[in-house]
């Protein structure tokens, strides 16, 4: 069963949570043996930008280990999952490809239908 | 050959992303696929004939079957006479039937 | 052989219209004789919290009895009852999501699981529907 995980929602509770919960779920599914492809679209294309979330101190408490999506993408690739990012969504956000991590391979919007055809399950998060 | 069921829950007044379902539906139709878009929740706000920014005309023109959740329509006071051509009210049972068709691929937006 | 539908949900109670739509889909599938698996992820694990209590409505001037309004755990209980035998409803709360929300005291008919269970349910189903949060 080939699964296409489409990730659109970005930076939702990524400091309260330990990770972006859909990238985390994607890694967990891959670890469980899922034949998985990840497509970043919408605001989630921002996860393809080189970034490191700062720590956050609130009173005596510090969130030391916030979500690091670049790491999640690299780990997914290392485990054999394909990771794609929609080029036009990057362009719409003025994101220069020089700022993007290698783990995410650009695809054009016109190729999304092909990805849908190539997968048995389409899970849009 | 797969059928596609694209469930659209977003409306064009609150979301800048309703084009995604329309683009995807059109592209799949161009490949000869049978595509149904099921509008649910606030997405049905785009079913009125005069609704601006609605993707319904485009979908209907592409040969996509456009259904609108009857409960969502009633909840929002959208009457049958107001609904644009090309949209048919449908029950949640109809959605389940579509989702369960062998080979159907379903996406919720 | 009965068909099976797996549904993944994410929304916390009382926050999104998608929860009600999910309930409607689950109920419809069960009425049609379809077995249903639910994987409750993130905030959706709070839908089943036993500690939920209905309340009076001081704005409307109604008592709890007059409001007669179910909590989400009541709705899930009704679905569990609908899917008690055949067709069957299997409701799995993502365990780590439960832990971080303190949502572990849940109604009968619910069990703890994780992504591997979701994958297994999806692989064994006729169809899988993911209802995301926003």
Of C100, C115, C130, the CB nearest to A32: C115
A40: domain CATH number is 3.40.1260.10
pLDDT band at C1 (very low <50, low <70, confident <90, very high): confident
* The CATH number of domain B3-108, selected from 3.40.1190.20, 3.40.1260.10, 3.30.70.260, 3.90.1150.10: 3.40.1260.10
Instruction: Give the pLDDT of residue B38.
Output: 98
Strand, coil or helix: B64: coil
Q: CB distance from B38 to chain A under 8 Å?
A: no
**Substitution target from B28, B104, B105, B108 for chain A, most A beta carbons within 10 A:** B105
The model scores a pTM over 0.90 = yes
Complex ipTM tops 0.90: yes
CA A80 to chain CA mean position, Å:
14
Expressed as residue numbers, the domain containing A58 is 2-124
Q: Give the bridge partners for B12, in sequence order.
A: none
> To which residue do tokens 């959706």 refer?
C44
Mark yes or no for CB contact C34/B100 under 8 Å.
yes
Which residues touch C72 (CB under 8 Å, ≥6 apart)? C13, C14, C19, C46, C47, C48, C52
- The alpha carbon of residue A32 is apart from the nearest alpha carbon of chain C, in Å, by 6
Rounded to an integer, the average pLDDT of C104-123 is 98
- Give the distance between the most distant pair of CA atoms in chain A: 51
- Give the distance between the most distant pair of CA atoms in chain B: 38
Spell out the domain ranges in chain C: 4-131
Instruction: Give the pLDDT of residue B2.
Output: 65
**Distance of alpha carbon A54 from alpha carbon A24, whole angstroms:** 19
Number of domains in chain A: 1
Helix pair angle (B92-99, C17-31), 10° resolution: 70
- Fold (topology level) of C4-131: Hypothetical Protein Ychn; Chain: A, (3.40.1260)
Instruction: Give the pLDDT of residue B1.
Output: 56
**Distance of alpha carbon A24 from alpha carbon B21, whole angstroms:** 25
Spell out the domain ranges in chain B: 3-108
Segment (H or E) for B108: strand B105-108
Please provide the average confidence, as pLDDT, over all residues in chain C: 97
**What distances in angstroms separate CA B44 from CA B75, B77, B81, C107, one per listed residue?**
10, 10, 14, 34
Torsion (CA) C81, C13, C42, C30 in degrees, nearest 10: 30
User: For the segment C57-100, what is each residue's pLDDT rounded down to a tens digit?
Assistant: 999 999 999 999 999 999 999 999 999 999 999 999 999 999 99
Question: Which residues in chain B land under pLDDT 50?
Answer: none
- The alpha carbon of residue C24 is apart from the nearest alpha carbon of chain A, in Å, by 20
Report chain B residues whose CB lies below 8 A from the CB of C131. 108
Q: CB distance from A62 to chain C under 8 Å?
A: no
Which string of DSSP letters, residue by residue, matches C82-127? HTBSSSBEEEEEEHHHHHHHT---B-TTEEEE-HHHHHHHHHTSSE
User: For the segment C15-60, what is each residue's pLDDT rounded down to a tens digit?
Assistant: 999 999 999 999 999 999 999 999 999 999 999 999 999 999 999 9
Report chain A residues whose CB lies below 8 A from the CB of B27. 110, 112-113
**Distance of alpha carbon C97 from alpha carbon C88, whole angstroms:** 24
User: For the segment A63-112, what is each residue's pLDDT rounded down to a tens digit?
Assistant: 999 999 999 999 999 999 999 999 999 999 999 999 999 999 999 999 99
Which string of DSSP letters, residue by residue, matches A7-71? E---SSSTTTSSS-HHHHHHHHHHHTT-EEEEEE-GGGGGGGB---PPPEEETTEEE-S---HHH
Q: CB distance from A11 to chain C under 8 Å?
A: no
Asked if C3 and C126 touch (Cβ cutoff 8 Å), the reply is yes
The burial of A31, by beta-carbon neighbours within 10 Å (0-12 exposed, 13-18 middle, 19 or more buried), is given as middle
Of C17, C25, C132, the CB nearest to B95: C25
Instruction: Give the pLDDT of residue A76.
Output: 97
**Substitution target from A92, A116, A119, A123 for chain B, most B beta carbons within 10 A:** A116
Segment (H or E) for C8: strand C4-9
**Substitution target from C92, C101, C126, C132 for chain A, most A beta carbons within 10 A:** C132
Mark yes or no for CB contact C130/A28 under 8 Å.
no
**What distances in angstroms separate CA A106 from CA A97, A110, A111, C125, one per listed residue?**
9, 12, 10, 32
Query: Any long-range contacts for C64-72 (C-beta under 8 Å, 24+ apart)?
Result: C71/C13, C72/C13, C72/C14, C72/C19, C72/C46, C72/C47, C72/C48
Strand, coil or helix: C68: coil
Mark yes or no for CB contact A9/C41 under 8 Å.
no
Mark yes or no for CB contact B71/C3 under 8 Å.
no
């Amino acid at each position: 069963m080939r699964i296409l995980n489409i990730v659109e929602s970005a930076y939702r509770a990524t400091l309260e949570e330990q990770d972006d919960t859909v990238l985390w779920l994607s890694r967990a599914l891959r670890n469980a043996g899922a034949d998985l492809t990840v497509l970043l679209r919408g605001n989630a294309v921002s996860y393809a930008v080189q970034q490191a979330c700062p720590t956050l101190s609130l009173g005596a408490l510090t969130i030391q280990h916030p979500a690091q999506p670049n790491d999640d993408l690299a780990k997914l690739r290392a485990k054999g999952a394909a990771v794609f990012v929609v080029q036009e969504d990057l362009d719409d956000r003025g994101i220069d490809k020089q700022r993007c991590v290698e783990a995410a391979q650009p695809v054009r919007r016109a190729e999304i239908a092909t990805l849908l055809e190539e997968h048995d399950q389409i899970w849009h998060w | 050959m797969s059928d596609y069921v694209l469930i659209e829950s977003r409306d064009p007044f609150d979301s800048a992303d309703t084009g995604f379902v329309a683009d995807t539906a059109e592209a799949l139709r161009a490949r000869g696929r049978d595509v149904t878009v099921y509008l649910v929740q606030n997405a049905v706000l785009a079913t009125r004939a005069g609704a601006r920014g609605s993707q319904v005309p485009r979908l209907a023109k592409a040969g996509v079957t456009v259904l609108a959740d009857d409960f969502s329509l009633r909840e929002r006071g959208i009457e049958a006479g107001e609904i644009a051509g090309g949209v048919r009210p449908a029950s949640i049972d109809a959605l389940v039937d579509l989702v369960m068709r062998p080979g159907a691929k379903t996406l919720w937006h | 052989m009965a068909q099976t539908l797996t549904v993944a949900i994410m929304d916390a109670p009382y926050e999104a219209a998608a929860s009600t739509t999910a309930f409607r889909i689950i109920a419809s599938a069960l009425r049609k004789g379809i077995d249903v698996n639910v994987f409750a992820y993130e905030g959706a694990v709070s839908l089943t919290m036993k500690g939920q209590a209905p309340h009076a409505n001081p704005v409307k001037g109604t008592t709890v009895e007059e409001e007669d309004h179910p909590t989400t755990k009541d709705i899930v209980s009704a679905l569990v009852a609908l899917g008690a035998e055949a067709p069957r409803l299997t409701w799995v709360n993502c365990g780590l999501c439960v832990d971080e929300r303190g949502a572990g005291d849940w109604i009968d008919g619910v069990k703890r699981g994780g992504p591997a269970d979701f994958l297994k349910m999806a692989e064994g189903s006729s169809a899988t529907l993911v209802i995301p949060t926003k």
